[in-house]
């Protein structure tokens, strides 16, 4: 790296770019590797198979548990069905996601980056394949330098083929969230699926292949905003993957440090074996401290612990720790872990508040709806007998998956007022009975006529009251009745 | 320049600085990642390709058209023509359908209302108003007061042939000019006007002879406006008991209309609008709420 940048301004052309240094992460074994594998199986398992899970909603709704029906303008999540005008639930989810990210960060740093981010998970999977085909770190470095023989071509082809298969399946699973999965799979296989499905599969296949196969840590370092935000949000009490330099320094080879000890000189536990940064998927040296490039996946902890065990020293030279604790150890105090502190309490409280608000809104929401819009021109019409007629565009919603009947009543008008819904012939006690199909809206023109001989004021506040026939669910809309 | 721009290497990172300093902070001159720079070059190439293929640069009188010959205007015209062709298909169905069929077929009803609304704005609104409420001399199409009948077939007939339009099939039926043509004396006109006013809730002149007026009415008016003053749609004779009068509801307006009447003209739209549009207009006007 440094060789590229040491060109001065003096005459010699400067390099305009730095080629990314290729990183060959080494395989490690240990607790954090196990956690990462487990989370990889869970998250990818959810992603790839969730569209196939069925959920019975009755005859007039899809039976796919998670479905975003863009043409039908509905989103389904198990027992929840969202209409387009309820998209604010998505806002709530995004707020929850953001605050959850802050909370994770306040507790234990970049948990999201290290274990859960799709970029990390897919890169991990791609690296696994690379390792299985081309070997571990040393073999891969050597393999890259090998001349192009038939064997090398075969291995490379195998790797890219496997990568492309995973990428293709990733893109394929994505489109299954937007249509009935089993049907779409059949259509895709028989080349009868809509062209947009193939295009989206193509786009996501190429992004997965490029981002997980080639861009890898470049995405985290250059493209993602979270490392910048995270650096501003962390504090001295947050757990982060930390090199305990108070214990490790001065570093030196095992032999050298033993000699120092024998001479009574200070010697650290770090044997400078380079395993920590060889294992790192973003190529950072954790011993330089917390840095933007570090996604805090904990693999250096596993690498270091393995070495420490081998050389007979206590593990945990690299571990989840806080800045504060290093300082305390230097001062000879016991480390303290304050996960519960004002910052985490506030984040948790915000999560609970937003979550409860959303839940309340969800549980108490109406399954019917009414909107009324007064005619703008004319505002009123005088009839032959002197009575006044007002017209309204009324939109009615039935969010249940069966046909329902509603009675429309107008409150606030004098006795003898006539309410007609154009096209609706059924009435009960002179009130229109309106049928609305399953999961549908119906727009009606409603005419309200004051009784002849009653002098109406210039403006009368009225309420459209819609009552469901079986359960008696009531929704209302306010408007005005206008007269000269 | 090279003397003043002496390269400075940051001690901690070993990276060259840009030489700029803000409040003691210096900016490192880290090079861009290669992929970033190449993406930037690719964007430039894309732009050049775009200029070659599509219209891009304005010239003094015109612009570079691009090798594809693409034109948004041509696209828009093609879209418009496709839309008109599609409209013609539904329009043909509309012409063949009965009004009852249109009422019960959502596709046709929606088309007729949309088409009718557009045609109304272009052709009818100048007289009847954009809200179809009319004005003095131009009937309100929203209310239930119909001179020539308010069923959908009657509305259709009125639109197609007009009123006193000169078309052979047009509604004709003139209010005689009782004053101008000296069919009644001024006194008789005052009497009959007061009689009508008394029947429709208006103030009458002090000392008006309503009985004489009743006789004048029976002899001259009842044939068209009816014994009960409720009018006769076959003749286009208005209901004189209604809350709204086409030429104004006042004693003076009644006197004026008996003396020297307005006989308004509605043009015939046959041949000026296509049959589908006339049918759409009938459906649309009927849907205002006053239709019978």
Q: Tell me how far apart the alpha carbons of residues A75 and A69 are, in angstroms, rounded to a whole number.
A: 6
Is the CB of residue B266 less than 8 Å from the CB of residue B169? no
Q: Tell me how far apart the alpha carbons of residues A32 and A34 are, in angstroms, rounded to a whole number.
A: 5
Comparing CA positions, the residue from B278, B271, B247, B238 lying closest to residue B166 is B271
Q: Give a yes or no: residue A172 inside a domain.
A: no
Q: What pLDDT tens digit does each residue of chain A (484 aa) get?
A: 334 444 444 444 456 677 778 899 999 999 999 999 999 999 999 999 999 999 998 887 899 999 999 988 899 999 888 888 888 898 999 999 999 999 999 999 999 999 999 999 999 999 999 999 999 999 999 999 999 999 999 999 999 999 999 999 999 999 999 999 999 999 999 999 999 999 999 999 999 999 999 999 999 998 999 998 888 888 889 999 999 998 888 888 888 888 888 888 888 899 999 999 999 999 999 999 888 899 999 999 999 999 999 998 999 999 999 989 999 999 989 989 988 999 999 999 999 999 999 999 988 888 899 999 999 988 999 988 889 999 999 999 998 888 999 999 999 999 999 999 987 888 888 899 999 988 888 998 899 999 988 999 999 999 999 999 998 899 999 999 999 8
Residues from chain A contacting residue B102 (CB–CB below 8 Å): none
Q: Which of B15, B37, B143 sits opposite A17 (nearest CB)?
A: B37
Residues from chain A contacting residue B34 (CB–CB below 8 Å): 17-20
Q: Which residues, 6+ apart, have CB-to-CB distance to A415 below 8 Å? A: A451
Distance (Å) from the alpha carbon of A305 to chain B's nearest alpha carbon? 29
**Amino acid B281: pLDDT:** 96
Q: Tell me how far apart the alpha carbons of residues A300 and A279 are, in angstroms, rounded to a whole number.
A: 6
- The CATH number given to whatever domain includes residue B218 is 1.10.760.10
Per the DSSP assignment, residues forming a β-bridge with A411 are A463
For residues A208-241, one letter each, b for 16 or more C-beta atoms within 10 angstroms of the residue's C-beta and e for the rest, the string is bbebbbebbbbbbbeebebbeebeeebeebbbbb
Average pLDDT over residues B106-128: 93
Kindly report, residue by residue over B49-68, the tens digit of the pLDDT.
Answer: 999 999 999 999 989 988 98
Q: Give a yes or no: residue A408 inside a domain.
A: yes
Residue of B nearest to A18 (CA): B33
Please tell me the total count of domains within chain B. Answer: 2
**Amino acid A96: pLDDT:** 95
**Amino acid B270: pLDDT:** 94
**Amino acid A15: pLDDT:** 64
User: Which of A4, A7, A219, A382 is the best mutation test for B, with the most CBs of B within 10 A?
Assistant: A382
DSSP state of A300: H
Average pLDDT over residues B262-276: 93
**Has residue B5 got a pLDDT over 60?**
no
Q: Taking all residues of chain B, what is their mean pLDDT, rounded to a whole number?
A: 90
Q: What domain range includes position A426?
A: 368-482
Structure tokens at A108: 């234990």
Comparing CA positions, the residue from B124, B50, B58 lying closest to residue B280 is B124
Kindly report, residue by residue over B178-188, the tens digit of the pLDDT.
Answer: 999 999 999 99
Residues from chain A contacting residue B15 (CB–CB below 8 Å): 2, 5
**Amino acid A429: pLDDT:** 85
Tell if the CB–CB gap between A381 and B5 is shorter than 8 Å: no
Is the CB of residue A297 less than 8 Å from the CB of residue A345? no
* Residue stretches of the annotated binding site of B: 124, 127-128, 175, 221, 224-225, 266
Which of the residue ranges B16-30, B89-103, B107-121 would you say has the lowest mean pLDDT? B16-30
Q: Tell me how far apart the alpha carbons of residues A311 and A272 are, in angstroms, rounded to a whole number.
A: 12
Q: Give a yes or no: residue B169 inside a domain.
A: no
The values of phi and psi at residue B193, to 5°, are -65, -40
Q: Give a yes or no: residue A314 inside a domain.
A: no
Average pLDDT over residues B202-212: 90
Residue of B nearest to A218 (CA): B33
Q: Which of A2, A10, A385 sits opposite B243 (nearest CB)?
A: A385
Residue B209 and residue B240 in one domain = yes
Q: Give a yes or no: residue B130 inside a domain.
A: yes
Residue B187 and residue B254 in one domain = yes
Q: Give a yes or no: residue B189 inside a domain.
A: yes
DSSP state of A20: P
Provide the strand spans (E) within A43-127.
66-69, 74-77, 80-82
First-to-last alpha carbon distance for chain B, in angstroms, is 91
Residues from chain A contacting residue B143 (CB–CB below 8 Å): 381-384, 389
Distance (Å) from the alpha carbon of A388 to chain B's nearest alpha carbon? 9
Tell if the CB–CB gap between B34 and A19 is shorter than 8 Å: yes
- The CATH number given to whatever domain includes residue A378 is 2.60.40.10
**Amino acid A16: pLDDT:** 67
Q: What is the ipTM of this complex?
A: 0.72
Tell if the CB–CB gap between A384 and B2 is shorter than 8 Å: no
Tell if the CB–CB gap between A378 and B142 is shorter than 8 Å: yes
**Amino acid A13: pLDDT:** 44
Residue B253 and residue B277 in one domain = no
Provide the strand spans (E) within A124-264.
240-243
Size of interface A-B (CB pairs under 8 A): 93
Residue of A nearest to B6 (CA): A9
**Amino acid A6: pLDDT:** 42
Q: Tell me how far apart the alpha carbons of residues B83 and B75 are, in angstroms, rounded to a whole number.
A: 12
Per the DSSP assignment, residues forming a β-bridge with A421 are A446
Q: Give a yes or no: residue B51 inside a domain.
A: no
**Amino acid B4: pLDDT:** 52
Residues from chain B contacting residue A380 (CB–CB below 8 Å): none
Structure tokens at B256: 């004026």
Q: Give a yes or no: residue B207 inside a domain.
A: yes
Residue of B nearest to A16 (CA): B31
Average pLDDT over residues B107-122: 92
Is the CB of residue B269 less than 8 Å from the CB of residue B124? no
Please tell me the total count of domains within chain A. Answer: 1
Tell if the CB–CB gap between B142 and A16 is shorter than 8 Å: no
Distance (Å) from the alpha carbon of B28 to chain A's nearest alpha carbon? 11
Comparing CA positions, the residue from A239, A242, A279, A2 lying closest to residue A131 is A279
Residues from chain A contacting residue B16 (CB–CB below 8 Å): 5-6, 8
**Amino acid B1: pLDDT:** 42
Distance (Å) from the alpha carbon of A4 to chain B's nearest alpha carbon? 9
Q: Give a yes or no: residue B109 inside a domain.
A: yes
**Amino acid B6: pLDDT:** 65
Distance (Å) from the alpha carbon of B9 to chain A's nearest alpha carbon? 8
Structure pTM? Answer: 0.73
Residue B231 and residue B278 in one domain = no
Q: Give a yes or no: residue A389 inside a domain.
A: yes
* Residue bearing tokens 């496997």: A162
Tell if the CB–CB gap between B35 and A18 is shorter than 8 Å: no
User: Which of B17, B35, B292 is the best mutation test for A, with the most CBs of A within 10 A?
Assistant: B35
Q: What domain range includes position B81?
A: 75-156+270-286
Residues from chain A contacting residue B129 (CB–CB below 8 Å): 377
Q: Give a yes or no: residue A399 inside a domain.
A: yes
Residues from chain A contacting residue B35 (CB–CB below 8 Å): 20, 215, 218
Tell if the CB–CB gap between B133 and A215 is shorter than 8 Å: no
Q: Which residues of B touch A (CB under 8 A)?
A: 2, 5, 7, 9, 14-16, 29-38, 103, 129-133, 140, 142-145, 239, 242-244, 287-290
Q: Give a yes or no: residue A425 inside a domain.
A: yes
Tell if the CB–CB gap between A17 and B142 is shorter than 8 Å: no
Residues from chain B contacting residue A12 (CB–CB below 8 Å): none
Distance (Å) from the alpha carbon of A456 to chain B's nearest alpha carbon? 15
The values of phi and psi at residue A4, to 5°, are -65, -35
Residue of A nearest to B289 (CA): A447
Tell if the CB–CB gap between B33 and A16 is shorter than 8 Å: no
**Amino acid A257: pLDDT:** 85
**Amino acid A3: pLDDT:** 40
Q: Give a yes or no: residue B29 inside a domain.
A: no
Q: Give a yes or no: residue A297 inside a domain.
A: no
**Amino acid B178: pLDDT:** 94
Distance (Å) from the alpha carbon of A417 to chain B's nearest alpha carbon? 15
Residue of A nearest to B18 (CA): A9
Q: Tell me how far apart the alpha carbons of residues B5 and B119 are, in angstroms, rounded to a whole number.
A: 74
* Residue stretches of the annotated binding site of B for heme c: 124, 127-128, 175, 221, 224-225, 266
Residues from chain A contacting residue B36 (CB–CB below 8 Å): 17, 222
Q: Which of B34, B130, B143 sits opposite A384 (nearest CB)?
A: B143
Q: Tell me how far apart the alpha carbons of residues A368 and A370 are, in angstroms, rounded to a whole number.
A: 7
Q: Give a yes or no: residue B35 inside a domain.
A: no
């Amino acid at each position: 790296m440094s060789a590229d940048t040491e060109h001065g301004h003096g005459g010699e052309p400067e390099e305009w770019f730095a080629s990314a240094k290729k990183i060959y992460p080494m395989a490690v074994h240990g607790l954090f590797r196990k956690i990462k594998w487990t989370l990889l199986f869970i998250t990818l398992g959810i992603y790839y198979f969730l569209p196939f899970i069925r959920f019975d909603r009755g005859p007039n709704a899809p039976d796919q548990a998670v479905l975003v029906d863009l043409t039908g303008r509905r989103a389904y999540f198990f027992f929840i069905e969202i209409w387009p005008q309820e998209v604010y639930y998505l806002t709530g989810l995004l707020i929850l996601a953001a605050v959850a990210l802050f909370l994770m960060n306040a507790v234990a740093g970049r948990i999201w980056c290290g274990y859960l981010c799709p970029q990390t998970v897919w890169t991990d999977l791609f690296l696994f394949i690379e390792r299985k085909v081309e070997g571990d770190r040393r073999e891969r470095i050597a393999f890259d330098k090998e001349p192009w023989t038939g064997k090398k071509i075969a291995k490379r082809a195998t790797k890219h083929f496997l990568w492309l298969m995973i990428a293709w399946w990733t893109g394929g699973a994505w489109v299954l969230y937007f249509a009935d999965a089993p049907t779409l799979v059949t259509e895709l296989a028989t080349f009868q699926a809509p062209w947009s499905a193939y295009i989206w599969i193509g786009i996501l296949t190429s992004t997965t292949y490029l981002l997980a196969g080639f861009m890898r840590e470049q995405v985290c370092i250059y493209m993602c905003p979270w490392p910048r935000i995270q650096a501003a949000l962390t504090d001295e009490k947050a757990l982060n993957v930390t090199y305990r330099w108070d214990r490790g320094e001065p570093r030196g080879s095992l032999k050298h440090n033993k000699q120092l000890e024998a001479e009574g000189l200070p010697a650290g536990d770090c044997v400078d074996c380079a395993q920590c940064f060889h294992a790192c998927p973003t190529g950072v040296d954790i011993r330089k401290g917390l840095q933007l490039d570090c996604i805090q996946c904990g693999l250096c902890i596993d690498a270091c612990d393995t070495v420490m065990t081998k050389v007979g020293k206590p593990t945990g030279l690299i571990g989840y720790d806080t800045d504060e604790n290093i300082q305390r150890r230097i001062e000879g105090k016991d480390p303290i872990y304050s996960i519960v502190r004002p910052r985490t309490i506030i984040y948790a409280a915000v999560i609970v508040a937003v979550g409860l608000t959303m839940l309340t809104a969800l549980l108490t929401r109406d399954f019917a709806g009414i909107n009324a819009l007064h005619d703008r021109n004319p505002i009123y019409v005088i009839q032959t007998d002197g009575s006044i007629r007002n017209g309204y565009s009324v939109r009615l919603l039935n969010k249940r998956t069966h046909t329902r009947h509603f009675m429309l009543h107008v409150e606030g008008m004098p006795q003898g007022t006539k309410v007609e819904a154009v096209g609706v012939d059924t009435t009960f006690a002179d009130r229109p009975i309106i049928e609305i199909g399953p999961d549908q809206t119906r727009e009606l023109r409603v005419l309200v006529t004051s009784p002849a001989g009653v002098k109406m004021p210039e403006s009368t506040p009225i309420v459209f009251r819609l009552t469901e026939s079986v359960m008696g669910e009531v929704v209302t809309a306010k408007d005005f009745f206008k007269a000269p | 320049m090279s003397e003043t721009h002496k390269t400075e290497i940051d001690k901690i990172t070993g990276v060259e600085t840009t030489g700029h300093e803000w409040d003691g902070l210096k900016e490192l001159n880290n090079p861009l990642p290669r992929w970033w720079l190449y993406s930037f070059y690719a964007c430039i190439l894309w732009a050049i390709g775009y200029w070659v293929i599509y219209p891009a640069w304005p010239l003094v009188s015109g612009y570079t058209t691009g090798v594809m010959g693409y034109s948004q205007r041509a696209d828009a015209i093609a879209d418009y023509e496709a839309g008109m062709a599609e409209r013609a298909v539904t329009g043909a169905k509309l012409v063949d359908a009965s009004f009852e069929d249109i009422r019960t077929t959502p596709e046709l009803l929606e088309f007729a209302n949309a088409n009718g609304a557009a045609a109304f704005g272009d052709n009818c609104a100048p007289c009847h108003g954009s809200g179809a409420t009319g004005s003095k001399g131009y009937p309100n199409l929203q209310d239930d007061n119909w001179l020539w009948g308010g069923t959908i077939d009657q509305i259709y007939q009125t639109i197609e042939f007009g009123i006193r339009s000169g078309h052979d099939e047009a509604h004709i039926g003139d209010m005689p000019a009782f004053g101008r043509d000296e069919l009644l004396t001024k006194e008789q006109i005052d009497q009959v006007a007061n009689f009508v006013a008394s029947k429709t809730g208006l103030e009458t002149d002090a000392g008006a002879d309503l009985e004489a007026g009743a006789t004048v009415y029976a002899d001259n008016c009842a044939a068209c406006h009816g014994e009960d003053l409720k009018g006769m749609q076959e003749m286009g004779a208005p209901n004189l008991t209604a809350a709204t009068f086409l030429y104004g509801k006042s004693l003076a307006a009644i006197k004026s209309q008996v003396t020297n009447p307005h006989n308004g003209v509605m043009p015939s739209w046959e041949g000026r609008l296509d049959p589908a549009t006339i049918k759409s207009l009938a459906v649309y006007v009927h849907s205002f709420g006053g239709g019978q």
